Structure 1
Amino acid sequence: MTTVKTLLGLPGLRLRPLAGADLLDRPVTRIYVTELPDPGRYLSAGELVLSGLLWWRRPGDAEPFVAALARAGAAALAASGADSGGIPADVTDACERHRIPLLEVPTDLSFSVITEQVVLALAAASESARKRLQAAADAPVETLLERASAELGLPCWVLSGLGRVVAGTAPLPVAAADVIRRHAAKEAGSLTVVPVEGRHAVPWLIAVGGPLSTAQAELAEELAGLVGVTRARAATPEAELPGEARVVALRTEGSDESADVLRELLPDGVLLESTGDTSYATGHWPASAVTDLSTVEPLLRAPRILCGVGEPGEAREVAGYALAVAARRAGRVVVVPAAEVDPHRLLLAGAPEGLRAALRRRVLGPLLAYDAEQHTDLVHTVRVFLECSGSPTRAAKALHVHVNTLRYRIGRAGELLGADLTEFTDQLDVYLALRMEE
């Protein structure tokens, strides 16, 4: 990393510090030459600002100039006072006040020489930084981030597309989900974001705490490549997890991204099976799962993400049945915990679509045909009757009809169905057939 102190040691420049001697460890990322009285709009963090002070005419002129450097986060001011008999005290005082290192440039030294040597120093430092980072290629993600952060002089994080902080060198100043959303929407933010290389449905992102120079951006790209390699070679656990581990079934409709999404959703989990668009895994189900899936949804190719979640200790099939229930619900992201679904619905959800349709036709066919021909709604009457536990009084009240009318309709429906709707087994068959359409 090139610092202000590094520039003081460059041969032939003979720069001399006049202010901010305790700030010489500031990193320098680029050089900018200006004679504008207020260059604020053109500055960026980490710049060495080079000026011949042509803008200075009288005491007080230094304040807006140096204040602009401080606001932009400039690394230092290198100034020559050839036209004013030396650097004015006004400039030195402003640099001390705003904590900007001030370097005096010899009057016989061309700015082009300074620019050339600083650019070469930055290029050499950038190449050295890349080599040092590459030397840690086999290290864990945490080590890679620490090395990169030291080279960049900025905090770094690896974020999952699910809004999870995979690793970081400092507390993330904003919510990870907000960083992901801004990146997906291509909106600028306070952090610089670089995608991690690799063919994964749920991307990882490198976030760096500030704007980057060209050399810094190249180093961030190098970091992204190394993190991508580290992610690709990460081993998947081979043993199932004890305790509160659950089986999760996840489908990414119309895409083969399900396994990647599950690996990110359950980072400690074990992938059990994958057929591309549908995958099963066991792991610790996060409380933030629905929010996480909603966060990553804009980054995926799948138009819908469906998920069924079993209870600890339940068989894989239960999560699959909950997934089938989720598939029949509306929404871009649908998560159905098996515990929230009635057992008979889980059983029905596991039945193939063709079987469900055939059983519905077999049990309800005559009643459906009668309603269609006579423009009646006996199917609805039967449904309400069964949902009222076969109580004529409760059903009549719910349908706003007389109880005798209700009894007549149930009797007629029973004749059409060839069933006794007062018997439990017949009630069960009809009720399940009614549920087949859900």
Structure 2
Amino acid sequence: MAEHKMTVEDLLRSPALQLRLIAGEAGLGRSVSWAHVSELDDPTPWLLGAEVIMTTGIGVPRSAARQRAYLERLDDAGVSALALSAQLHVPPLHQTFLEAAEERGMPVLEVPLAVPFIAIAQEVAAAVQEDARHRLGAQLQVFGALRWLAAEDLDTATLFGRLERLSGYDVYLCTPQGRPLLPGVPVPSLDVLPSEPDAPPTIPGGFVLPVPAPGGPAGFLVAFEREGARPAGLAVVQHIATVAALQVAMARHERETLRREGAETLAELLQDVLEPATARRRLTRLGLPLDAGTVLVVVKGAPDAALRRALAEHPHLMLRRGDDHYVLGPPELRSPITSLPGAHAGMSRPFAPGGSTRMARREAVWAATRAVESGQALVHYGDDKTGRWLPEDTETLAALVEDVLGEVLAYDEAHDSRLLTSARTWMERDRRTDDAAAALHIHPNTLAYRLRRFAALTGRDLSSSDSFAEVWLAIQAARQLGLHDPAPS
């Protein structure tokens, strides 16, 4: 027997059956799963599809309209072919009946009187039994996929390549949004994905099945019959979907393990307790590149899930502290982080992978605060033209702040006032008193009083260029040290 499903054409070509095609040649490629005798006018309630219906003609109507309706009912029920016994009870077949068979590609066969129906049934049964043996063998081998996975440590692409060869299907996987679900397995065309969760699995040329996961499908598996292969059926495709679900669960577990390890490593890096060589080994194991500089990013206002999704395709370590997220990775992190709606982030200057993060942390915190104040999605430390003139040493910065702003900071703390904020806002708005007062929601006279008080406490005349520059640098240093209150909204 041919190495494929039995078709109507196979029956027609069988020399022992001596069948003759009356009409419906276009449907000779229809597969045949069973052959059954029925003399009913409407046998469709008892059919499953892909049957050859054999009749002596008792149930075939005599009028043209009813003959056509009879054939259309069988075709709508998925019948593969209608076999009529010659010279018995078949009424004259009307032209409209034959035309309907041609239009629909519904084969109508004539069975010689000398050929009993049982001969056709046996021919089909033998083919079905052979196909069942093939499917069982394929199922047993596909069910061994888990053993291969454990014993041979196969990668995903190799595993699914084997499953394709055994099952007779080309396999595709994707997330519900149509993105790759597992590495090495191609994504199907999105137009074959079901629009409803309970959609039937059968599609033209194959099947589409959900890949189960806690909380809902992780995606979909699409299996198309491969040309020249013997497809093993729905049960095997269902098992491949189960294997895919297991692979997805394993991948998720691995990602979660790496995420936890990454958070622990980043916590130790922020505390500067790792030797550079040890830190680099860990970064390599966690997938971070060592051939370029790394940056530290502080992200404010981003939900956990949204930030993880945005960074999913990029190597990184992430640690949550309070409402902020610390992210370590290559400078390319800028693009996915700036795509987060409502988030504000600060990025340090690049530094050597595995090196001390003390300076990078201060830079990122300062830049994130500046991003919130300015409403920007991302601020790079160093973008501020004034900040680049400030020393990196915290003691020098602290001395500058204390010398210029020490009394102002003490006054603001003691009186719960906002002299520093008022002066900074006035300077940021190019000394336009009305604009700064509006931003602070105070009267211009109130701002003028605060500026006079600020000048008295600092001992600097803000109309002097030298004093103005010194005060402005001190304010930037206070920002860098986190010694200022938020700017007005």
Q: Which of 129, 135, 154 lines up with 1:125 in the alignment?
A: 135
Q: Which amino acid aligns with 1:384?
A: T
Aligned match of 2:259: none
* Pair 1:240 & 2:289 matched: yes
Matches within 5 A, 1:122-271: 122=132, 124-129=134-139, 131=141, 134=144, 137=149, 140-149=155-164, 155-159=170-174, 164-165=179-180, 166-169=183-186, 172-174=189-191, 192-195=208-211, 205-208=219-222, 213-225=234-246, 240=289, 242=291, 264-266=312-314, 269=315
Aligned match of 2:460: 420
Change over 3 Å in CA distance of 1:287–1:130 after alignment to 2: farther
Q: TM-score, normalised by structure 2?
A: 0.49
The whole-number CA distance in structure 1 between the counterparts of 2:132 and 2:208 is 20
Q: Which of 425, 438, 442 lines up with 1:384 in the alignment?
A: 425
Q: Report the alpha carbon displacement of residue 368 of structure 1 after superposing the two structures with TM.
A: 5.9
Q: Report the alpha carbon displacement of residue 412 of structure 1 after superposing the two structures with TM.
A: 1.8
The whole-number CA distance in structure 1 between the counterparts of 2:381 and 2:35 is 62
Q: Report the alpha carbon displacement of residue 387 of structure 1 after superposing the two structures with TM.
A: 0.9
Change over 3 Å in CA distance of 1:147–1:413 after alignment to 2: same
Q: Report the alpha carbon displacement of residue 114 of structure 1 after superposing the two structures with TM.
A: 6.9
Change over 3 Å in CA distance of 1:255–1:156 after alignment to 2: same
Q: Is the 8 A contact 1:158 1:168 kept in 2?
A: yes
Change over 3 Å in CA distance of 1:305–1:381 after alignment to 2: closer
Q: Report the alpha carbon displacement of residue 307 of structure 1 after superposing the two structures with TM.
A: 7.9
The whole-number CA distance in structure 2 between the counterparts of 1:258 and 1:6 is 57
The whole-number CA distance in structure 2 between the counterparts of 1:414 and 1:399 is 17
Q: Report the alpha carbon displacement of residue 410 of structure 1 after superposing the two structures with TM.
A: 0.2
Q: TM-score, normalised by structure 1?
A: 0.53
Aligned match of 1:300: none
The whole-number CA distance in structure 2 between the counterparts of 1:17 and 1:249 is 78
In the comparison of the two structures, how many residue pairs are matched? Answer: 382
Matches within 5 A, 1:103-114: 107-108=117-118
Aligned match of 1:3: 5
Q: Report the alpha carbon displacement of residue 156 of structure 1 after superposing the two structures with TM.
A: 3.0
Cα RMSD (Å) = 6.8
Q: Report the alpha carbon displacement of residue 60 of structure 1 after superposing the two structures with TM.
A: 1.9
The whole-number CA distance in structure 1 between the counterparts of 2:406 and 2:108 is 88
Matches within 5 A, 1:374-413: 381-389=422-430, 391=431, 394-399=432-437, 406-413=447-454
The whole-number CA distance in structure 2 between the counterparts of 1:337 and 1:124 is 60
Aligned match of 1:48: 50
Q: Which amino acid aligns with 2:138?
A: S
Q: Is the 8 A contact 1:273 1:279 kept in 2?
A: yes
Percent identical across equivalent pairs? 17
| 1:61 partner SS | helix
Q: Is the 8 A contact 1:419 1:426 kept in 2?
A: no
| 1:192 partner SS | strand
Q: Which amino acid aligns with 2:450?
A: R
The whole-number CA distance in structure 2 between the counterparts of 1:436 and 1:250 is 18
Q: Report the alpha carbon displacement of residue 437 of structure 1 after superposing the two structures with TM.
A: 3.7
Q: Is the 8 A contact 2:35 2:124 kept in 1?
A: no
Change over 3 Å in CA distance of 1:275–1:62 after alignment to 2: same
| 1:59 partner SS | helix
Q: Which of 34, 49, 61 lines up with 2:69 in the alignment?
A: 61
Q: Which amino acid aligns with 1:385?
A: W
Kindly provide the CA deviation profile for residues 273-309 of structure 1, in whole angstroms up to 9, marking residues without a partner as x. Answer: 8799966444965967877x89xxxxxxxxx999877
Q: Which of 412, 429, 434 lines up with 1:367 in the alignment?
A: 412
The whole-number CA distance in structure 2 between the counterparts of 1:170 and 1:87 is 53
Change over 3 Å in CA distance of 1:30–1:144 after alignment to 2: farther
Q: Is the 8 A contact 1:378 1:409 kept in 2?
A: yes
Q: Which amino acid aligns with 1:131?
A: Q
Bigger-Rg structure (1/2):
2
Structure 1: unaligned runs, 5 residues or longer: 295-303
Q: Is the 8 A contact 1:155 1:169 kept in 2?
A: no
